Amino acid sequence: MARIEIATLAGGCFWCLEAVYQEMRGVESVVSGYMGGQVDNPDYRAVCTGATGHAEVVQIRFNVISYRDLLEVFFVIHDPTTLNRQGNDMGTQYRSAIYFHSPEQEATAREVIKEVAHAFDHPIVTEITPAQTFWTAEDYHQNYFRNNPHEGYCMFVVSPKVDKFRKKFAGLRK
């Protein structure tokens, strides 16, 4: 049996990342939450103010696939060139960040950024930071797209990212 690893990524709203990674082969689980701030046990309302310093993240438990595969998908499904913003979602909680759990993950993240940088018109601003305490988001944020596929945000923001993943990474789908 393959060893389970953990990846923690921030790429705007956690609902978007969660929905995509839940469809990826080798992903055991995806949990939405918060990381990178200075307040213990933050809640969504506090994180949305920007005052806690946390980013919306997903914590991914995976095996079989590589960390590199996760990052290659990450750089396709969000815009890593916009500082503290994804589409209409603005604030530090929507920053692009990779929270690494090992020196190998840090090295891979830096390599992947160098490899994909040419595909963007602007510099990549994704933070690469050691993982900190992961705080699980409230229950209603978990499986949000699966539970609310016809909600407006899901239809107009999340669904196009899921469709993009399905088309570009068909070989990595469950």
The residues carrying an active-site annotation are 13
Q: Nearest-5° angle of CA 137, CA 10, CA 6?
A: 80
Give the Cα separation of 43 and 21 in Å (integer): 23
Give the Cα separation of 28 and 161 in Å (integer): 20
Give the Cα separation of 157 and 72 in Å (integer): 20
In sequence order, the β-bridge partners of residue 99 are 8, 129
In a 3-state reduction of DSSP, which class is residue 10? strand
Give the Cα separation of 162 and 100 in Å (integer): 24
